[in-house]
Chain A
Amino acid sequence: MTIDAALLERHGLKPDEYDRIVRALGREPSITELGIFSVMWSEHCSYKSSRIHLKKLPTKGPRVLQGPGENAGAVDIGSGLAAVFKIESHNHPSFIEPYQGAATGVGGIIRDIFTMGARPIALLNSLRFGPLEGPTGARTRRILEGVVAGIGGYGNSIGIATVGGEIAFEESYAGNPLVNVMCLGIVDANALVKGKASGVGNPVYYVGAKTGRDGIHGATMASAEFDDRSAEKRPAVQVGDPFMEKLLLEACLELMATDALIGVQDMGAAGLTCSTCEMGARGGAGIEIDVRHVPQRETGMTPYEIMLSESQERMLLVVKHGREHEVEAIFDKWDLHAAHIGFVTDDGLMRVKDGGKVVAEIPNTALVDDAPVYNRPTSRPAYLDTVNTLELGALRPAPPPDALRAVLSSPTIASKRWVFRQYDHMVRTNTLVLAGMGAGVVRIKGTPRALAMSTDGNGRHCYLDPRKGAMLAVAEAARNVACAGARPIGATNCLNFGNPEKPEIMWQFVEVVEGIAEACRALDVPITGGNVSLYNETDGNAIYPTPIIGVVGVIEDASCTLGRVFRHSAREIVLLGEADGDLGGSEYVKTVHGLVAGAAPRIDLGRERALIDVLVEAAAQRLIESAHDCADGGVAVTLAECAFDSGGIGFTVDLPLAADEQANPWTNLGLLFGEAGGRVIVSVSPGKRQPLAALAARAGVPASVIGTTGGERMRIEVGGQETVDVALAEMEQLWSSVLGRYFAGRAA
């Protein structure tokens, strides 16, 4: 086959990239080699557009045991244990085939965690969809139903609790939904396993599912925009087998408990190609394999197809020479076939043979380290000049009770019970905060501790101001974790953007990365890994810039864990932080007035850090009984969510006007529905108001007693004047039934 422009285009390679390949090899590549380069140098695997910017992220800290570069990051959680975690996207496959796309996304991130030697114990997911109504509503409902079923189908079967996550709906995701999945596992800190090959002559094993033609060019697909022919790419989506993965998980952990293993890597994107050259490169070694020994489930597969297949549930292992029987016995026990496909060499080459004949021979460094790196041009998008103005005077302020009903009925705000009841969120009996009741919290058996985790990101805020939106995302995830009583200690990020070859998109990307870096430094939460998903565009329309931040925190005494809901009546309610918020970019302005406009909400990172300190200390001293982050929907929605699922504990509060403020409709709406960082609603333990106030004062965090819990109504006054007085039961019914209604008539 001759290599021409059309062939290069099909491989997603630019002419200058091809020239680079020829220079790296000192000759023309074979077709197999061309395929190998195309997947390794795809955006998905090489991070060629993002790499120079990702270096700006803080990745070090006293607790960081493993930063970016391995299969997942790891932080020290005390008692000699490490938490291993990472978030990853499966956006493109989930749009094309929602069930399998989402399921294999879950499978992929789980493999990244147990590859590090950790037992996975928690999953979270952040999902973004288009509106459930309107011209694309029916398609979106079908996608959502498939994605949720796929996440559940995989996670429930393999037995890892889905303990948290969030979902938002915006028009920009209608043609490009986001499926970001985070997994966390636990391992002895000194037993972390690395994905490297070493020791000349050590055998290389292939374990797991057989290789088929599914998923060929998946990494390349994830590195291109969608158009109306995307459905034709369905064969590039893989099919998941959670039972196979369960076998692999148990067998690999059993093998890791011996010292027969040198290194292991899962075959995710770019399959056998990526795992082979990355393990070789990390260990400074070479690997030679023969594709004839690779278990295949289809006949007549070419070396090209075998090397590029993205069939799921496969692992590549390097084990110690002489320990082969021991290794094979473990896999036999789990009815898995471990195929000896090659060995480690000292030549630094990835050598692929087909029945003894060399079909590819490439220096590992050329594939892994010498991939092109682009400093793509950036340009501030013109849309910002128009969307950043919000003329409230041109709008008619909604009566507060109507506004509350509308915002609680927004699918983004409404209860997600319809979704999470489809996920096993309890297996392994560690879940201390049940799904939907706050941050995800799992206890660590054998220690007094628990881990809290949260994934957050508001695309609308990032659209209005990428840098500030990114800071708000980091702060929200850290604040959510602190609301559970946990000290945030590490973060992972999934960066979802449009086409980076457009300077406006690249500008958003750079702003977001710098915003994340600044916030992570300010809050002292290093980034230990993550994933970049670019080209999230359909027919030229990009998604909102959407960084999803996953933060992990430690609760030293698991019995101090807090959830979002009021626990008792007749408790004082305290607002930590400023009462006032911004209507710009708010859920209120979007839902009631149909506008995405204004400046993104305010955030003060110094104040944010002080608030986290107050929450962690207040929880540890049992000064508070519940804590709920005040984000989407503002104070009114946050208070409502403190009452929902509490067993009918309402509230009466009076929000204070600032000294220079007069009660008027827009001031009232700003206090009720305005959004801002740095605010949390807590209910105070009996007699603990003074210690809490003193703690907050020392930290410089405003703390105002705004009311008390109890009663069957939700009553909110502003400056002594009634604005909202509604029945809790009615509002809870409204909030609880929104999602289910969209799927009524279908399977409940």
Chain B
Amino acid sequence: MAESHESAAASKASRWQALAGGPSANQKMKFAVIVFPGSNCDHDAYHAAKHVLGQEAEFVWHKDTSLGAADVVILPGGFAHGDYLRTGAIARFSPVMAAVRAFADAGGPVLGVCNGFQILLESGLLPGAMLRNRGLKFICEHVSVRVEQVDTPFTAACSAGQILSIPINHGEGNYFASDDVLDALERDRRVVFRYVDAATGQPSEASNPNGAARSIAGICSERRNVVGMMPHPERACEPMLGSGDGLVLFESVVRALSSAGAVGTAAR
């Protein structure tokens, strides 16, 4: 905490770049799971990274200004500050967010899940906003999402068009942006996940659970290292929980970090 968060984040990012450039099979990745007071999927992300994947993980309190020696940052699901206002609207002001921003700016991989995605939108790290679900009801159930892009650190181990069964769990997951923004996202291949029909593999009205624009379930930043998504991959990392399809996202980031040049950002 002695060093300023900018320099702390920069040094972490350089560690990340060193890792990305010089793979080491034995060295474990360190996942930093940000904990806002109302986060409730923080333990699930931690469990997936540490106990299922066998990597290192640590919690970082939202009032902290440093991410420690993080290689990957996860903004978990939950209700960061109760979300009585707009989801994520208060969380963006938490002290840790400056460090997250610096980490992202330096090219470090950041995954925002559900409330974490909403916080990334409020912080301006990703474009767009969330509306209430089309049906105005909270929805918790497994949905089918198609992997649209495999050149992000969190989809590097996926195959293009792969369909994953992952649960959603939200009341405000109806992704919205202006047509210009949506067109730009499509043009720049930044739509990473789309809700699709399990049988046809195609988006449809019926398979879009919340009314999201263009069935968007997840997007990435311009530099592709920041990914936000509404479905919860950390809930689908063990078959005994109903699906193991989400684990590939965590495996992706480990692979992306340990093999040089596997990811666009890592090659820089």
Contact = CB atoms under 8 A, between A and B. Distances in A.
Contacts of A434: 242
B169 A559 contact: no
A335 B37 contact: yes
A426 B169 contact: yes
Given A421-B141, A445-B47, A429 B238 contact: yes
A382 interface: no
B164 interface: no
Given A429-B44, A434-B242, 14 more contacts: A149-B137, A149-B138, A156-B140, A246-B82, A420-B140, A422-B138, A422-B140, A426-B140, A428-B43, A429-B237, A432-B241, A443-B240, A445-B47, A747-B136
Nearest to A334: B37
B53 to A, nearest CB: 13
Contacts of A420: 140
B40 A246 contact: yes
A561 B47 CA distance: 21
A425 B242 CA distance: 12
A574 B235 CA distance: 34
A580 to B, nearest CB: 37
A722 to B, nearest CB: 33
Contact of A432 (B84, B136, B240): B240
Interface in B200-257: 232, 234-235, 237-238, 240-242
A422 B141 CA distance: 9
A152 B47 CA distance: 24
A241 interface: yes
A156 B242 contact: no
Nearest to A437: B242
B140 to A, nearest CB: 5
Nearest to B84: A243
Contact of A243 (B47, B79, B234): B79
B130 interface: no
Contacts of B84: 243
Contacts of B169: 156, 424, 426-427
Q: Which 4 A-B pairs have the closest CB atoms?
A: A159-B40, A243-B82, A747-B136, A748-B135
Given A242-B82, A243-B84, A422 B137 contact: yes
Interface in A129-167: 149, 152-153, 156-159
A210 to B, nearest CB: 16
A159 B167 contact: no
B173 to A, nearest CB: 13
A748 B238 contact: no
Nearest to A427: B40
Nearest to A157: B79
Contacts of A158: 40
Nearest to A423: B140
A747 B140 contact: no
* B interface: dominant SS: loop
Interface residues of B, number: 35
Contact of B37 (A149, A246, A425): A246
Given A159-B40, A426-B167, A431 B135 contact: no
B41 interface: yes
Interface in A379-431: 420-429, 431
A250 interface: yes
B38 A426 contact: no
A152 B138 contact: yes
Contacts of A426: 140, 167, 169, 232, 235, 241
Contacts, number: 94
A422 B139 contact: yes
16 contacts: A156-B79, A156-B138, A156-B171, A159-B41, A241-B82, A247-B37, A421-B137, A422-B137, A426-B140, A427-B41, A427-B169, A429-B44, A429-B47, A561-B240, A747-B135, A747-B136
Nearest to A160: B40
Contact of B81 (A156, A243, A428, A429): A243
A421 B40 contact: no
A558 interface: yes
Interface of A: 149, 152-153, 156-159, 241-244, 246-247, 250, 333-335, 420-429, 431-432, 434, 443, 445, 558-559, 561, 747-748
Contacts of B68: none
Contacts of A333: 63
B82 A157 contact: yes
B168 to A, nearest CB: 10
Given A424-B140, A429-B235, A747-B136, A157 B38 contact: yes
Contacts of A157: 38, 40, 79, 82-83
Contacts of B48: 429
| Most chain B beta-carbon contacts within 10 A, residue among A423, A428, A559 | A428
B63 to A, nearest CB: 8
A634 B160 CA distance: 48
Nearest to A434: B242
A443 B52 CA distance: 15
A370 B242 CA distance: 53
| Most chain B beta-carbon contacts within 10 A, residue among A157, A241, A334 | A157
Interface of B: 37-38, 40-41, 43-44, 47-48, 51, 63, 78-79, 81-84, 134-141, 167, 169, 171, 232, 234-235, 237-238, 240-242
A159 B78 CA distance: 7
A428 B137 contact: no
A26 B78 CA distance: 54
B249 to A, nearest CB: 15
Contacts of B237: 429
Contacts of B134: 748
A240 to B, nearest CB: 11
Contacts of A429: 44, 47-48, 234-235, 237-238, 241
A555 B124 CA distance: 47
| Most chain B beta-carbon contacts within 10 A, residue among A149, A247, A422, A558 | A422
Contacts of B38: 157, 243, 246-247
A428 B40 CA distance: 8
| Most chain B beta-carbon contacts within 10 A, residue among A244, A246, A426 | A426
A377 B136 CA distance: 50
A472 to B, nearest CB: 31
Nearest to B132: A747
Contacts of B40: 157-159, 246, 427-428
Given A242-B82, A429-B47, A558 B240 contact: yes
Contacts of B140: 156, 420-426
Contacts of A561: 240
Given A152-B138, A334-B37, A427 B79 contact: no
Contacts of A334: 37
Contacts of A748: 134-135, 137
Contacts of A242: 79, 82
B37 A431 contact: no
A445 B141 CA distance: 22
B61 to A, nearest CB: 8
| Most chain A beta-carbon contacts within 10 A, residue among B37, B44, B63, B134 | B37
A431 to B, nearest CB: 7
A481 to B, nearest CB: 19
Contacts of B83: 157, 243
A106 to B, nearest CB: 14
A433 to B, nearest CB: 9
A447 to B, nearest CB: 13
Contacts of B138: 149, 152-153, 156, 422-424
Contacts of B139: 421-422
A400 B238 CA distance: 42
Contacts of A423: 138, 140
A626 to B, nearest CB: 15
A423 B84 CA distance: 18
Contacts of B235: 426-427, 429
Contacts of A422: 137-140
Nearest to A450: B240
B232 to A, nearest CB: 8
B95 to A, nearest CB: 13
A422 to B, nearest CB: 5
